[in-house]
């Protein structure tokens, strides 16, 4: 399989997962805000930090108010990480590689993008937000189901799965991070009465509440939830489960030694984590999540070096540059004797 095609599929899957998980992230925060009494100094600014887009945000807005943040993360086409941009990128990535996946998958990506483009602006309002975010999540899940149910078990599917699992692990850590230092008051006295409520909303945003009840059979408690989301081997959105799947998919590819070793290292960090300590210290948890994300970046780098770029002497330009330049050139070069 061509490296470019593999890379496009990998990124398509990452973008789809990112759109879904950004919707989940906004959803968990919206519910927290509704559930918690106004005197708690929670806000929307941490979401911007968590998604790593502080600079892009402050370039456009001065107020970290609800409307600005939600609009920025849902509907801002100039923001690369917004839901609308992620879906647009997914679509562009698939467009050049349409011939390697069943047509229905292309049509679904296309349709999802178009429908979100139609509704994103309205979806920002508090009244419509919940149903908008749900529709994004459902659309992404439909696509995942379609891939699962129709795409042959070959390299195309492997690279899609690599992208999805890595992005999912990354985004699950960000959602867990909502519950960490940056969002919560440092004074445990103030926090206590609402703690369970908040963990419950994190579980719900990952569609993991019922699974948690079945698995743990206890009332919702911080350390148990954290262990469940980080280490449970069976929950599809737990970090351990994503890394496990990632490792398995890698074993299907040639030349997988370096990326596989990197995955193993990060997985060991997750499995060996001291959950009790993390659960009781928001700052420790935040630090731990930072480390995990550095690990995810390392996994991406080795994947990229192994499969996507196989000649270091040839400089590569970023995707957006290539696209805009080749747009003008391929028209100029279009002497197709039509």
Look at residues 241, 239, 244 and name the one whose alpha carbon lies nearest to residue 278: 239
Closest separation in Å from C-beta 252 to another protein? 11
- Would you tell me the crossing angle of helices 319-332 and 83-95 to the nearest 10 degrees? 50
Contact between 255 and another protein (CB under 8 A)?
Answer: yes
Of 37, 38, 149, 254, the one binding another protein (CB under 8 A) is 254
CA dihedral 239, 318, 26, 12 (to 10 degrees): -60
Give the distance, in angstroms, between the CA of residue 243 and the centroid of all CA atoms in the same chain: 14
**Comparison of 60 and 255: residue with beta carbon closer to another protein:** 255
Cβ burial, residue 231 (10 Å; 0-12/13-18/19+): middle
Identify whether the C-beta of residue 92 lies closer than 8 Å to the C-beta of residue 14. Answer: no
Whole-Å CA distances, 313 to 1, 211, 334: 21, 49, 29
Identify whether the C-beta of residue 167 lies closer than 8 Å to the C-beta of residue 21. Answer: yes
- Binders of another protein among residues 97 to 136 (CB under 8 A) are 98-99, 103
Could you give the CA distance from residue 301 to residue 195 in angstroms, rounded to a whole number? 37
Closest separation in Å from C-beta 101 to another protein? 12
**Comparison of 272 and 336: residue with beta carbon closer to another protein:** 336
Closest separation in Å from C-beta 303 to another protein? 10
Residue range at the interface with another protein (CB under 8 A); choices 65-73, 174-182, 287-295, 315-323: 315-323
Contact between 218 and another protein (CB under 8 A)?
Answer: no
Closest separation in Å from C-beta 83 to another protein? 23
- Binders of another protein among residues 66 to 95 (CB under 8 A) are 95
Of 46, 123, 139, 155, the one binding another protein (CB under 8 A) is 155
Q: What is the CA radius of gyration of the chain?
A: 20
Contact between 333 and another protein (CB under 8 A)?
Answer: yes
Residue range at the interface with another protein (CB under 8 A); choices 40-48, 76-84, 182-190, 325-333: 325-333
**DSSP for residue 304:** I
- Binders of another protein among residues 159 to 188 (CB under 8 A) are 159
Contact between 4 and another protein (CB under 8 A)?
Answer: yes
Element (H, E) at 227: helix 222-231
Question: 274-313 mask for another protein (x: CB under 8 A)?
Answer: ---------------------------------x-xxx--
Residue range at the interface with another protein (CB under 8 A); choices 76-84, 183-191, 220-228, 316-324: 316-324
Contact between 1 and another protein (CB under 8 A)?
Answer: yes
Q: What is the torsional sign of CA 264, 265, 268, 269?
A: negative
Closest separation in Å from C-beta 249 to another protein? 13
Closest separation in Å from C-beta 91 to another protein? 11
- Binders of another protein among residues 224 to 253 (CB under 8 A) are 253
Cβ burial, residue 297 (10 Å; 0-12/13-18/19+): exposed
- Binders of another protein among residues 8 to 47 (CB under 8 A) are none
Look at residues 161, 133, 165 and name the one whose alpha carbon lies nearest to residue 147: 161
Could you give the CA distance from residue 117 to residue 135 in angstroms, rounded to a whole number? 12
The full length of the chain comes to 338
Whole-Å CA distances, 46 to 41, 52, 64, 305: 12, 10, 9, 32
**Comparison of 125 and 323: residue with beta carbon closer to another protein:** 323
How many chain residues bind another protein (CB under 8 A)?
36
| Binding residues for another protein (CB under 8 A) | 1-4, 6, 95-96, 98-99, 103, 155, 159, 253-255, 307, 309-311, 314, 316-317, 322, 325-327, 329-338
């Amino acid at each position: 399989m061509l490296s470019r095609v593999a890379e496009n599929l990998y990124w398509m899957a990452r973008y789809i997962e990112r759109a879904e998980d950004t919707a989940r992230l906004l959803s968990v925060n919206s519910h927290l805000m509704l559930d918690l009494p106004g005197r708690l100094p929670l806000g929307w600014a941490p979401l911007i930090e968590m998604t790593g887009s502080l600079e892009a945000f402050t370039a456009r807005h001065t107020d970290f108010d609800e409307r600005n943040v939600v609009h920025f993360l849902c509907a801002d086409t100039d923001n690369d990480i917004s839901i609308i941009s992620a879906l647009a990128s997914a679509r562009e990535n698939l467009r050049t590689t349409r011939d390697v996946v069943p047509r229905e998958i292309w049509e679904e990506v296309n349709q999802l993008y178009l429908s979100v483009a139609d509704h994103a602006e309205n979806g920002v309002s508090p009244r419509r937000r919940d149903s908008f975010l749900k529709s994004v999540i459902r659309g992404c899940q439909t696509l995942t189901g379609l891939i699962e149910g129709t795409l042959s078990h070959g390299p195309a599917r492997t690279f899609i799965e690599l992208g999805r699992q890595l992005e999912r692990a990354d985004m699950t850590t960000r959602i867990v991070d909502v519950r960490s230092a940056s969002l919560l008051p440092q004074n445990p006295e103030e926090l206590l009465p609402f703690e369970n409520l908040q963990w419950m909303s994190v579980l719900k945003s990952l569609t993991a509440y019922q699974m948690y009840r079945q698995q743990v059979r206890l009332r919702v408690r911080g350390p148990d939830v954290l262990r469940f989301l980080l280490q449970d081997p069976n929950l599809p959105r737990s970090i351990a489960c994503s890394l496990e799947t990632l490792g398995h998919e890698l074993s299907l590819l040639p030349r997988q030694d370096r990326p596989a070793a990197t995955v193993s290292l990060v997985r060991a960090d997750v499995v060996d984590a001291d959950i009790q300590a993390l659960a009781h210290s928001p700052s420790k948890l935040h630090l731990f999540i930072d480390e995990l994300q550095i690990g995810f970046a390392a996994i991406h780098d080795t994947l990229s070096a192994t499969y996507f770029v196989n000649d270091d002497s040839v400089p590569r330009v970023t995707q957006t540059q290539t696209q805009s330049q080749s747009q003008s050139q391929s028209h100029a070069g279009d002497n197709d004797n039509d």
